[in-house]
Structures are given as C-alpha cells and as structure tokens.
Structure 1
C-alpha cells in the first residue's frame, strides 16, 4: 500500500529515489503539504507538537492529549503542564460554525483555550470569541505567532463534565484523593456511583487533581526513544496513535530503508 500510494502522488520519479530513505520521503511529502493552501489539520498539529510539546516543554515535564472528549465535543489537542491548555485547530479547510459551542464545552474542563488558525480566519476568530480566548496564527515554515494571549478562567469548571472525560480508573483516583470511599461495584454501577460523587466535589480541587492524574496516566515519556528516531514529519502521528512497544524498532528500521527498495513492496 505504501509503495502504491507513493507512486500515485508522483512526488518522486524513479531517478529521485536513489540515496533517499523512507523517512526522508515522508519529510519531502510533508514539506509539500505545509505549503499555504494545502495545509490540513495534521500540519497544524505538527506545528503545535514541535513548537510547544517538544520545544517549549518536553515529554518529561508535559503531557499531550489528542482528540480528547469534553462534553459533546472533542478537543483537537491539549497540553498539560502546570495547567491544562486546549488548542482548537481551524485550518484553511475548516469553518468556524462550531467554534462557539466547542469553547463552551472546553470551558467546563480546562482553564486555558487557544484557537490556532490560518490567516484568513484570524479576524473572524478575534471578533467572535471573548478576550480570554487565545488566538494563534500559523505562518509559513511552521512558525506560530501569538495574536492574543489566553487567560486562565476556572469559573466554569464542571466536575461532572470532567468525570465524563475520564477513564474509570482515573476517576477513581481523583475521587479517592478527595475522600470518597470507592465501593466494590461492577462497572455498570460504578459509573453511576462516581458520577454522583463527582457532582458534589469542589470544582477547582477536581480540576487540579485531573491535571495531576492525567499527566501520570497519559504520560508519553515511554515514546521518547521512538520519537527521537523517527523523521520529524511522523513524530506528531507517533504521539497520537497507539503503537505496541514491540513494533517501535520495526518502524524505526523501516524509516531507514532506501526508498527505491520500499517502492518494490507489494
């Protein structure tokens, strides 16, 4: 499938494949995708990953969540360090129709929200969002510009919304840390018990413990060696797709293969 897909792109002719690895081919394809007018959500996700998670922070000090459900929406990307920051992507291919509803939902679980958008969306995002919502612009060459800083707002934190976003084991840890005795119940009943318990817990305490718990339970530190050995274009994908540990070395070795050899795959 890889060989057929690459041939269909016509990105390389036969002469171009000598001396190039599979990993370098992915980087070449991504460079084309990064051109203004072609940029999709993955280009924005890559910029956030490299500029923030792997640039400003690290896998030791921060955690990243992808497509994290909050209420009736899924947040594109969340970075957890001292606080929880949502990054909502609005690429050139997206509309802003759902943005207000998304922000309303995200406010219930996280303190900071940024919208990162292409230049054609920036004015509309600024006009239609309140001043506490941060706005970022993705310029050329993967550069992120801050148009408006986000302010942390915790007034709308909802413990039940947070509970619905968590795994049961994560919810148990938070409830237990806040003095709730966890009974021995089947999962069907445990969900109802925990939801009721969360409804009576202090919002800010739940929020702070959520950050602590998720940083531990969703840590990406085990992927550090994989990330260091992958082409830059694939690092965001490796951080968002669950890959078995035993497949890490196989993937790394595949990226190092000559491209002309990979093109012979059936």
Structure 2
C-alpha cells in the first residue's frame, strides 16, 4: 500500500482529471482486488478515514452529511476556502441562513483559532468549529462561554454536536461583506436597492459603490449578501447527479467547478 499522503493527493481536482485519462497511477496505489473504479476510490478513501483524517475528509463529511444528507442541492449550497479579512473559512453552508464551519483536524494546531473566529463574526452570525476528539477538551475550555458551536467528528465518522451555536451579530461589518463580494455581486445589491449604479470615473467607481452599499440597513444588506454567496454554487448539480459518484469524491467534484463535459466524462468513468 502506498503512503497515506500519496493517497490523499488523489483527492484533488488535478489528479482526479489525470486519473480519468490514465488510470495507471490509481491502480498502482492499491493492491486490493476492487471490482471497479468506484470501489477503488472508496477503498482508498477508507484508508484515510482509518489513519489520516485530513481536512478533505472533514469537508467531504460535512458535504455528504449536511448538504446531501439533511438538505438538498435544490435549496442549499456551500462554499469552501472563503477569504475573510486575513483568515480563510473552511466550509460555509447556505440554506436560508449562513453557517460557518471551521475545521481543526487531529493534524492541526489550535494556535490561530481565536483570531480566525473573530474574523468570521465580522462576516457571519453563526459559527461552528468541527474538531477531532483529540481537541475536544481544549476547545471546550476555550469556547465554553462563547457563541461558537462545537461539533466533534467521532471515530465512527458521525458529527456529534457538543455545543450548539448562538447567533452573534454584534461584530458584523458591512465593509467586510463588500470586500468578500465580487464586482457583479455588489453591483447587483446596489442596483436592486437604489435602482441605479453610480455614474462616476473608473477611478472613483469602487468607492462610490461601497458608499452606497454600506448605507443600506444592516438587516436588508445581510440578507442580500447571503443570497449572493448562496448563488455561487446553487444548482450546479442536482442530488441524483452527486449520488452517482462515490461518496468519497462528492465534495471534490462539487467544489472543483467541473464543466458539464468534465462531469459527463467523470460519470462515464464510474459506470
């Protein structure tokens, strides 16, 4: 069996696309008698679940159990790796509300956690940490009096809620929202609210849009901000398309922005 680090590298968009074109590397990673490609990916993923629960395992678990398990791709979307101030939110779920999930695996340190959480509360009002059992006592001690929710990814790969999150909106920052949005997104919010976009020079346009943006009342603006982010990945796939794929690869495909032709090629690969 190849190293766990080598196996983990299989679960990236670049390597998945290479494997579809040439399965030699995939076959070299396993000595098992798996029947087909579907089973081979599931077999390799199980090695990670047993011995190397990296960040991908956590994200894929959140995607399978929350987005596909509790909700539906018709009404729910998710984003990973969203820059917020000088932090990056690991996983955000959108379903009427926005919920941040900051991941701390057994391989991670907790050194930057407080700063990360403070940044997330500038953009969103519901935040959880998803942790290994190894981190539980330390995290509970740090966050017991905070609004942050605590979820443990157990050894049985279940998400065990140890502390429910409490909405906290005192630190929400309109300027942070503006910095997160893409140009077409903040333009749509400004135009929908005011009925026009500012007419100014290219040099002054960004500042003029921002001034109009931050003048919108907080509640209205937060809803519009969440809606824009939700739309980024909404209806990319439907539930049946995702469930044709090995559970080990679903979040990878969803977040990798595969084109329709790439998805078709992938689905054919697993038939």
Q: Same fold (TM over 0.5)?
A: yes
CA shift at 1:141, angstroms? 3.1
1:117 matches 2:131: yes
| Pairing partner for 1:137 from 144, 152, 155 | 152
Aligned positions of 1:24-63 closer than 5 A: 24-35=39-50, 37-63=51-77
CA distance in 1 between counterparts of 2:80 and 2:64 reads 14
Native 8 Å contact 1:158 1:203 kept in 2: no
Structure 2: runs of 5+ lacking an equivalent: 1-17
Structure 1: runs of 5+ lacking an equivalent: 257-266
Listed one character per residue, the Cα deviations across residues 138-166 of structure 1 (whole Å, up to 9, x for unaligned) are: 01232100000001111111111011111
CA shift at 1:186, angstroms? 7.1
Aligned position for 1:263:
none
Native 8 Å contact 1:113 1:150 kept in 2: yes
Aligned position for 1:181:
196
1:227 matches 2:246: no
Aligned position for 1:259:
none
Aligned position for 1:95:
109
Q: How many residues of Structure 1 are paired with residues of Structure 2 in the alignment? A: 249
CA distance in 1 between counterparts of 2:206 and 2:254 reads 29
With 125-134 and 233-242 compared, the bigger mean Cα shift is at 125-134
CA shift at 1:8, angstroms? 4.6
Listed one character per residue, the Cα deviations across residues 108-153 of structure 1 (whole Å, up to 9, x for unaligned) are: 1111000000011111112222431000000123210000000111
SS at match of 2:161: strand
CA distance in 1 between counterparts of 2:76 and 2:70 reads 10
Aligned positions of 1:237-256 closer than 5 A: 237-256=252-271
CA distance in 1 between counterparts of 2:202 and 2:100 reads 29
Native 8 Å contact 1:159 1:202 kept in 2: no
Q: Structure 1 residues 151 and 93 mapped into 2: Cα distance closer, same or farther (>3 Å)? A: same
Aligned position for 2:80:
66
CA distance in 2 between counterparts of 1:234 and 1:188 reads 44
After TM superposition, what 4+ stretches of structure 1 lie above 6 angstroms from structure 2? Answer: none
CA shift at 1:192, angstroms? 2.5
Aligned position for 1:201:
216
Listed one character per residue, the Cα deviations across residues 199-219 of structure 1 (whole Å, up to 9, x for unaligned) are: 33322221111122322x313
1:12 matches 2:25: no
CA distance in 2 between counterparts of 1:68 and 1:229 reads 27
**Under a length normalisation based on structure 2, what TM-score does the superposition of the two structures give?**
0.85
CA distance in 2 between counterparts of 1:223 and 1:171 reads 25
With 195-204 and 227-236 compared, the bigger mean Cα shift is at 195-204
CA distance in 1 between counterparts of 2:202 and 2:263 reads 33
Native 8 Å contact 1:113 1:133 kept in 2: yes
Listed one character per residue, the Cα deviations across residues 50-104 of structure 1 (whole Å, up to 9, x for unaligned) are: 1111111111121101111111111101011121100000001111111111111
Listed one character per residue, the Cα deviations across residues 237-258 of structure 1 (whole Å, up to 9, x for unaligned) are: 01110111122111111123xx
| Pairing partner for 1:153 from 168, 172, 175 | 168
